[in-house]
Structure 1
Amino acid sequence: MTTKYKSSKKKMASLGLKKNENGDYTYIDENDKNSKFVVVKRTQDREK
């Protein structure tokens, strides 16, 4: 039995995950400058 929910690349990237060549999910390295994923962080001024 399968679920009707599918995880898209955008959803997984927003969680900080990417799929490797084995099909497993790994965390996106923030220091990697060649990555096509953009790290999005909230700024400090939005908290107050």
Structure 2
Amino acid sequence: MAPAVKISLVRVVFPSLRCGRLLRLAIWARLKSEVEARTLAGTDPHSRQNY
């Protein structure tokens, strides 16, 4: 593969990877806060477990 093609591929793929990671972090944070809220409310079946 030509170096120029590699560079253009990296330029296209890298931002999307970063966006995907940010999206996953956001989803994970939301899930975590939801679990914590349920644990505080005492409605979560796994309220005795620490994550």
TM-score (norm 2): 0.23
Q: Indicate the structure whose relative CO is greater, using CA pairs within 8 Å and at least 6 residues apart.
A: 1
Normalized per residue, which structure has more strand? 1
Normalized per residue, which structure has more helix? 2
